[in-house]
Amino acid sequence: MELRHLAIPLRRGQGEDGKNFTVITTKAQRAQGEILSGVFARSEVVARIYTENVPLIAMSSIMKKISFILFIVFLSKFSFAQDPRKKQLDQMFVKAYRDGKFNGNVLVADKGRIVYSASFGYADTGGKQKLGVSHRFHIGSIAKEFNAVAIMMLQEQGKLKVGDKLSKYLPGLPKWADSISILNLLQYTSGVPNSNWKDIKGDASNLASLQKVKQLDFTPGTKYAYNNNNVFLQRQVVEKISGMPFRDFVEEKMLKPLKMDHTIIDPTLTESNLAQGYSNLKVVDDVTPPFSGWVCPTIGDFYQWAMAIDRFRLIGPESTKVIAQSYAPESQAGLGHAAVVDRKMISHVHDGTARSYQALLVSAVPKGRTILLMTNNQQGNLYPINDAIQAILDGKEVDSIGKE
């Protein structure tokens, strides 16, 4: 983001009403011709100050003050542009892309502000559509955070308790639903067997499959088994209690309040600005999910979601702590791996994979540091990329990206 040109010219004129005025304009360009700020375009009128009957000395004072303010704004932008970490991150990602190690979008925030955001590679197998910030990606298991948060929103509204049994809300399930709590679903300790997902064709198909299950794999609460039926049943509970399809609940209660305006749910391959998932052999993923409710954000909306969790914008600290608490240290909970201490978010780490898509969210909240990675051509190396980013932010030299 090299600042190529800056000028603050003053031009006198006369308005349609005959009054004298002075126009202040700026001209600023970034590399690649991007606008440096949402306020100042390449050649944009910043202020029109009417100077009728304004003494020359007073006018001079006004000009000095405005010029000083503009200078401070541009100095801030210029300082960011000169951040050596940006150059290091750029060099690392350019090399990673050229080496076939990363095709996707990245966003890095440190000390509470975004210090780097970029796109590398293509959204299609033919190399015709370059990736950009408007592209949406499947984020795999990170999308499971939405049902976990939805459950806690309903508990905060007094519409359920996580200690309630599943049969209270889904009475059509077999007798084993009497022994499973909502908390068991959140912690993947329900004992519900996995479905044969190749045979499942949507929500009704999976619900019918579960109604034929004779017994659980283990007594609820005694073991951990990462199983997508825990996710499916959470979403079914949300639908039953709210009276809304899960998709509508997410859109109305989460996406709209957070202004995640570019996020889509359960997209098809024809959806605009969906980054196609594809293998190294250029085989395009079938994005049809076995059951519904899979959120696909842009990198910017992904950041809004991370901030919403870390800053308790949808649910409070106590509710967040519930879905951060795992059954065992190495097992996952609703937020993947997270920690809430003394009503403060400390860390939040979650990864997700869906065929060729892979995503990673890493937040070290006390540092104001968040790293987001999204790829549509996964190479199984997002954690090493995160490690390299962390090292650069900490002022360390990074030669190359390691392997998981």
Give residue 400's pLDDT band: very low, low, confident or very high (50, 70, 90): confident
> For 392, phi and psi rounded to 5 degrees?
-65, -45
Of residues 31 and 204, the one with the higher pLDDT is 204
Range name among 73-87, 152-166, 249-263, 389-403 with the lowest pLDDT average: 73-87
pLDDT at residue 346 is higher than 60: yes
Helix axes 317-324 and 144-156, enclosed angle (nearest 10)? 140
* pLDDT digits 0-9 by tens, 215-224: 999 999 999 9
Name the average pLDDT for the chain.
85
Q: What angle do CA 31, 34, 40 make, to 5 degrees?
A: 115
pTM of the model: 0.81
Query: How much is the pLDDT for 49?
Result: 38
HSE value, Cβ hemisphere, 13 Å, CA-based, for 74: 21
pLDDT at residue 101 is higher than 50: yes
* Sequence-separated contacts (24+) of 124-131 with Cβ below 8 Å: 124/276, 124/278, 125/276, 125/278, 125/282, 125/283, 125/284, 131/103, 131/104, 131/105, 131/275, 131/376
- The residue ranges of every structural domain in the chain are 6-63+73-80, 140-378
Section 362-381 average pLDDT = 98
Query: How much is the pLDDT for 212?
Result: 97
Query: How much is the pLDDT for 398?
Result: 86
Distance of CA 56 to the CA centre of its chain: 52
The sign of the torsion formed by the CA atoms of 318, 322, 324, 329 equals: positive
Q: How does DSSP classify residue 142?
A: G
Of residues 66 and 327, the one with the higher pLDDT is 327
Range name among 18-22, 118-122, 142-146, 266-270 with the lowest pLDDT average: 18-22
Give residue 83's pLDDT band: very low, low, confident or very high (50, 70, 90): confident
Query: How much is the pLDDT for 1?
Result: 36
* pLDDT digits 0-9 by tens, 317-329: 999 999 999 999 9
Section 320-346 average pLDDT = 97
Task: Give the three-class secondary structure for 19.
Answer: coil
- The CATH T-level fold of domain 140-378 is Beta-lactamase (3.40.710)
Of the candidates 64, 30, 69, the one whose C-alpha atom is nearest the C-alpha of residue 46 is 69
Spatial contact of 287 and 270, defined as CB atoms under 8 Å apart: no
Of the candidates 97, 92, 88, the one whose C-alpha atom is nearest the C-alpha of residue 401 is 92
pLDDT at residue 89 is higher than 60: yes
